[in-house]
Amino acid sequence: MSEIMWDKNKVHSAVEAQKVFFSSGKTLDVSWRIEQLRRLKDAISSHEAQMVRALNEDLGRHPTEGYLCDIGPIIMEINEAIRGLRKWSRPEVHLSGFLCFPSMITKVHKMPYGTTLIISPFNFPFYLSLGVLVAAMAGGNTAVIKASSKSKNCTRVLHEIISDTFPPEYITVISGGHDVADMCLNERFDKIFYTGSPNVAKHVMEQASVNLTPLALELGGETGNWCIIRKDADLDDAARKIAFFKICNSGQICININQVAVAEEVAGEFVEKLKAAVIKQIGEHPHDNPEYPRLITEAAYKKCASEADEYRDRIVFGGEGSEASLKYDTTIIYPVGINEPIVNHELFCPIIPVVPFKDAEIDDVLEVIASREHGLALYIFTGNVKWADKVMRTQQYGGGCINEVCIHMMVKGVPFNGTGHSGMGAYHGVWGFREFTHPQTVLMGSPRFNLPLREHPYSGLKSKYKDKMVRLFER
C-alpha cells in the first residue's frame, strides 16, 4: 500500500469528512459501537504477525515482549469496553430535589465529543494509539490518529489495520513529522489526546487553547519517576523486578524508573544484586543479545551514550553499546547525588542512576521528590507496607506500586493518568470512556403543579414564606 503524502488540504479534508460522518448520528448507537470494537479486535488478531514483525524492525522487540506490552493490552482494553459499554453509556437518573418540584427526575447523558485527534508516540506504537482509540470509539467519537514518524514500520502496519477495517470518515491514520502534526493541530477538533513529552505537550496545549479544545495529556514527567528502596526491603525481589523493567523496551517507557534511591545501609548489596539480575535476564553484555531491544533512533542512542560518558568514572555495570544496532547496555551508575543533573530530567533509556541515602533520612528524600515536577509513577520497596501506603497516599504522582513495578497499569477498572508535568486526564476501561465523553445534565420538567417559590415578587405577604421554604430546600 503506497504511503499518503499528507499536506494541509488533505488533512483538512480528512477532518471535515469525519465531522460530516459524526453529524449523521451513526456513532451514537451503542450496539454499533460494540460492533466496531469487535471489528477492531478481529483486525488486530489477523494482523498480529505484521505487528510483531514491525515492532522488531523499529524497536528490536522480541515477539513475546511485543505481545506482552503492545498487542495483548489492546485486546484487554477492547474486551473490557465490549463488556462494559452498555452500562457505562446508560444515562444516570437522579432525583431533582424538592426545590425543583414538580420536576423530580434529572438525567445525565454521556455524549461523545465528536471528531477527536489522537497523537501517539513511538515507544508503544500500537498500544498508545489503538488503546486510546478504543476509548474514543467506546465514547462514540470519530478519530484521526497522528502516528509517530520514528516507528515507521509500525505506523505502516497501523495504517493497514485501520484502512482495511474502517472507512476514513470514521477512523483514519495520518503519518508524518512535526509539520504534519501541526497541520492536525491547526484543525478544529472536538477533543485531543496526546501522549509524549512535556515540552511538546506545552505546544499541543497552546494550539488547543486557540479553539478551547478539551484535551488529555499523558506525559513522562519532567524530572522522572522515582523508585525508593528502604533498608528493610527484599533486595533480591527489588533487583529482579527493576532489572526486568529497565531491560523492557530498552528503558523507553513513560512509567519506567528514572532513578533508584536506595538506603545506603544496603546500597552496595543492592547494586551487586541488580547486576546479577541483569546478567541473568539478558546477559553481561546486553547489546550482544538478540532479545535486547534497541533505541529508536541514532540521535536517541548518541544521547544515551553521551549521558553515560559524563558519569563514566561511576559506571559499575554496562556503559557499552553498538551504534550500528542502536543497542546500549543496561547501565548502572553509582553513587549519584540526589541533586546531580542526571536525576533532574527524564532519561528514557537504559541508564539506572542509583542515589544512596541514610534510611533514617527518608523524609528528606521524599521532600526533595515532592519539590520537583510530579512523576508519572512512583515505586517503593520496603517491608513496612503500612509506611509505604501512607507515602503513596500523600505524594503527588500518576500511579505506582508497592513492592512491584509497572503492572498497576494492567489492572482492569482503574485509571492510567498523570498529574502536573506528567499529564492530565485519564483512560483505560470506564475511565477512558469518561475521558472521551462529556456529561449532559437534563432535567425533566413538568407544566403542572408548579409552585411560585422561585418567582418574583420576593417582598410582601409571601416573602417570609418564600424565604423559609428556600432555606429549607437549599440545604
Which residues are the active-site residues? 218, 254
Three-state SS for the chain is: CCCCCCCHHHHHHHHHHHHHHHHCCHHHCHHHHHHHHHHHHHHHHHCHHHHHHHHHHHHCCCHHHHHHHHHHHHHHHHHHHHHHHHHHHCCEEEECCHHHCCCCEEEEEEEECCEEEEECCCCCCCHHHHHHHHHHHHCCCEEEEECCCCCHHHHHHHHHHHHHHCCCCCEEEECCCHHHHHHHHCCCCCEEEEEECHHHHHHHHHHHHHCCCCEEEEECCCCCEEEEECCCCCHHHHHHHHHHHHHHHHHCCCCCEEEEEEEHHHHHHHHHHHHHHHHHHHCCCHHHCCCCCCCCCHHHHHHHHHHHHHCHHHEEECCCEECCCCEECCEEECCCCCCCHHHCCCCCCCEEEEEEECHHHHHHHHHHHHHCCCEEEEEEECCCHHHHHHHHHHCCEEEEEECCCCHHHHCCCCCEECCHHHEECEECCHHHHHHCEEEEEEEECCCCCCCHHHCCCCCCCCHHHHHHHHHHHCC
Q: How far apart are CA 414 and CA 434, in angstroms?
A: 12
Q: Supply 279's cell numbers.
A: 546478567
* Distance from C-alpha of 123 to C-alpha of 196, rounded to nearest angstrom: 9
CA distance 367 to 413: 31
Q: How many CB atoms lie within 10 A of CB 160?
A: 17
